[in-house]
Chains A and B, each alone.
Chain A
Amino acid sequence: MSEESRQVPVASDQDVVRVRQLVRTVSVEAKLSLVDQTKLVTAASELARNTLVYGGGGYVEVSRVRNEIRAGIRIVFADQGPGIVDLDLALTDGYTTGGGLGLGLSGARRLVDEFVIETAPGEGTTITVTKWCR
């Protein structure tokens, strides 16, 4: 039940900044607490950078959602990249193939309420995260 959704293409570092700004704006509109705003913005920053660096670019879609009890924000990160071969390994703290800290994917999962990842080798990766207002 999405109300409105906004899409941003991710093809450069500037786009990651744009995603961050969009998520912040939507978080403020949805009246998320300051801590939750920061957590969601940080998670979006991590995942958007993954989309860019490992997925070779893609798009991010931000939408306001609502279930029976609460309102929230859902963000979809999609790329047509090589996909993730070993998902368990990729979600392990400290594992990286790109020289980073290896905390982006696993850390982002801890920063949001719902985290769904669809991927297969050669099929691209789509990650959907949701943060509910408390």
Chain B
Amino acid sequence: MVKSARCGQVVWLGEAAVALSPDESGRFSDLLKEHADGLVARWAELVGAGLQGRMSRPELERQTRDLQKGFQQALAAGARDLKDEEAAELRAQLSELSSHRARQGFSANETAISVFALKDAVLDVLGDTDDINTLRAFVSFSAFIDRAALFTFDSYVRVRESLIADQTEQLLELSTPVVKLWDGVVAVPLVGTLDSARAQVVMERLLQTLVDTGSPYAIIDITGVPAVDTQVAQHILKTVVAARLMGADCIISGIRPQIAQTIVALGIEFGDIATKASLADALRYVLGQKSYKVVAAKRTER
């Protein structure tokens, strides 16, 4: 395996062909140990230049020193590839670093450079050399770092994806409040696009609130929905039917002129469902149904 690399053929990265020989990992472990201080300083400097002061120097140096120790210990234990048992500790360290960076909002580039910079630092320590064996060893070592950086990048992406999934969920929660307008009257102000997932959340929330508050009236306000197409209409209709099954009356409010014309052109029928132009109209209608009367208070002179 090692031989094929030595023949100068093109060997694709990721195969054992570029793995470090036991001799080489020992050598680099010694090198990392011997030049620890110089390496860490140079490494932190390179990484710090990319981060542009968004991380304090002592913190960066501590992080870099930990990483340097991780690399050194993995190599000293005889790790020849990042997948090896001996490198388990290092892998844990790298994924912690990337999750830290991802959560702090650093870019993928800035995260990867934290690992790649070790190459430059080692090259500086090695200095000018014509020794072919040193060069070969450096190429293998460099491939090791490449895989470490790819691994870091991978975990970075995974953390970011989970962040996005969390935010999507939070957004769903945020965008569908059910508010109490009056005794026995709840309202759902819909804002934005009403897709199937949100329609489901809205329906669940509304039905649960109807049970919790024992409200006989629910107002669905669509002022904030930019376009009502057949899918949106169908979701609203289903919600209304479900609420009716539970004995609550639904009123749809916030139907603006352009939406009304579009609904007519599409041919959507809301049947006997009460619809109003504004939330205020809907509330007045409900109060009327409940035999309340809204009157101006008489001003009394004191």
A-to-B contact residues, CB < 8 Å: 13, 17, 20, 24, 34-35, 37-39, 41-42, 45-46, 49, 93, 100-101, 103-104, 106-108, 110-111
Q: How large is the interface on B (under 10, 10 to 19, 20 to 34, 35 or more residues)?
A: 20 to 34
Least CB separation from A16: chain B residue:
B195
Name the contact of A104 in the complex, choosing from B196, B230, B261 (C-beta under 8 A): B230
- A14 to B233 alpha-carbon distance, docked (Å): 19
Least CB separation from A13: chain B residue:
B195
Asked whether A101 and B268 contact (CB < 8 A) given A41-B226, A41-B227, the answer is yes
Give 15 A-B pairs besides A24-B226, A45-B229, A106-B267 with Cβ atoms closer than 8 angstroms.
A20-B226, A37-B258, A38-B259, A38-B262, A39-B261, A42-B228, A45-B231, A46-B229, A46-B230, A49-B229, A93-B267, A103-B230, A103-B267, A107-B266, A107-B267
Question: B193 touching A42 by the CB < 8 A rule?
Answer: no
Question: B234 touching A35 by the CB < 8 A rule?
Answer: no
How many Å from the CB of A77 to the closest CB on chain B?
14
Question: B231 touching A42 by the CB < 8 A rule?
Answer: no
Sampled A-B contacts (11; CB under 8 Å): A13-B195, A17-B195, A35-B261, A37-B258, A39-B258, A42-B266, A93-B267, A106-B267, A107-B266, A108-B266, A111-B265
Least CB separation from B232: chain A residue:
A45
Least CB separation from B259: chain A residue:
A38
How many Å from the CB of B284 to the closest CB on chain A?
26
Count chain A CB atoms within 10 A of each CB in B229, B234, B259, B261 and give the residue with the most: B229
Q: Which A residues are in CB contact (< 8 Å) with B227?
A: 20, 38, 41-42, 45
Question: A100 touching B226 by the CB < 8 A rule?
Answer: no
Question: A103 touching B266 by the CB < 8 A rule?
Answer: yes
- A108 to B195 alpha-carbon distance, docked (Å): 19
How many Å from the CB of A123 to the closest CB on chain B?
25
Least CB separation from B229: chain A residue:
A45
Question: A42 touching B229 by the CB < 8 A rule?
Answer: yes
Q: Which A residues are in CB contact (< 8 Å) with B262?
A: 35, 38-39, 42, 111
Q: Which B residues are in CB contact (< 8 Å) with A108?
A: 266
B127 within 8 A of A: no
